[in-house]
Amino acid sequence: MPLINKSKKRKIILVTGGAGFIGSNIVEKLLQLGEKVIVFDNLSTGKKENLRIFLKNPNFSLFLGDLRNQKEIEKAVKKSDYILHQAASPSVRRSILDPKSTFETNVLGTLNLLVAAKKYKVKKLVYASSCSVYGPTKILPNKEDISPNPISPYALSKFTGEKLCQTFSKIYGLSTICLRYFNVFGPRQNPYSEYAAVIPKFVSAFLRNKKPIIYGSGQQTRDFIYVENVVDVNLKALYSKFNKGETFNIACGKQTSLLEVICILNNIFTRKVKPHFKKERPGDIEYSYANILKAKDELGYVPKVSFENGLKMTIEWFIQYEQKTKDKN
């Protein structure tokens, strides 16, 4: 039974960045629940193949457009009741190389979306923020009430997006909520981009019998969260009482070092692979570890899939994906 719909008229949910890794997983869940879904994406980092299984679903529609274009985003927003804003230029490293493009997409794009949401009286907007807003902090685990210290253009752009949501809630009464994602991984994550995240890069290296690359000592930690957990909490946030841009950490509440990840992968693959170490990169945070009590208490969030189980399911997906890619070629 649909989670959002309480009347006979079906609500329409807009997912920006719906062709991307997290967005497409959200779209899949919403369609399974019988919701009507609009995806807005420019396919700069998202893939149309992530949407192929939805194209014949009568509850699915796709708008190809760019958040930086106000007219294009308004065409999608005016048909929508709710927004799950997943679209972003998502890389710390890319933001350091091209801060202007990152801010145009993540800040101007979010502003354009909020302006359209206000204009067309959207019922609620859920904003996908990032743990990178915390920056390097000695206070662990990270709690939502500590002062952010973003140290990359990407982190600053996501923090600015939070502030925009809070401002639109306070001044215009637009209902918003902000989810600070920690290190999300799972099916449909791209391992081949030069900006790819650590889990898909490591898994891809193991599948290709190559040494995974670690930037730094490998002692740095991350709070990894399987994408299914992120999908579930987006739905909880959407129909929660919170509407003033409140922030919530979305993670498993457990830190794992990169060396531990290699060890777990060695156990799964029954190998003894040693990583290749390279110099640490600017903008990377040494320790990332979330306090998730607020999300548990206020949103009823429980990370149902553990890191280890999520990793096994991710590996299975990548094996199937690699096989499909070979069959096509």
Question: Residue 228 pLDDT more than 70?
Answer: yes
Q: What is the pLDDT of residues 28-40, one digit of tens each?
A: 999 999 999 999 9
Residue 118 CB neighbours (<10 A): 16
- Supply the pTM of this predicted model: 0.94
Q: What is the pLDDT of residues 20-77, one digit of tens each?
A: 999 999 999 999 999 999 999 999 999 999 999 999 999 999 999 999 999 999 999 9
Contact residues for 278 (Cβ-Cβ < 8 A; gap 6+):
213, 214, 215
Write down the pLDDT at residue 195. 60
- The one-letter code for the residue type at 265 is L
> Which of these CATH numbers, 3.40.50.2020, 3.90.1310.10, 3.40.50.970, 3.40.50.720, describes 12-184+227-251+289-304?
3.40.50.720
Q: Whole-angstrom Cα distance, residue 250 to residue 247?
A: 10
Q: What is the pLDDT of residues 183-210, one digit of tens each?
A: 999 999 988 766 668 999 999 999 999 9
Instruction: Label residue 7 by pLDDT band (50, 70, 90).
Output: very low
Question: Residue 328 pLDDT more than 90?
Answer: no
Mean pLDDT, the chain, integer: 94
Annotated active-site residue in 127, 134, 154, 301: 154
Q: Integer distance in angstroms from the first to the last C-alpha of the chain?
A: 40
Q: Give the percent of the chain with pLDDT over 90.
A: 88
Name the nearest CA neighbour of 21 among 257, 324, 318: 318
Q: Is 172 a catalytic residue?
A: no
Write down the pLDDT at residue 210. 94
Residue 58 CB neighbours (<10 A): 7
Cis peptide before 99 (omega within 30 of 0): no
Write down the pLDDT at residue 190. 86
The residue whose two tokens read 């579930």 is 232
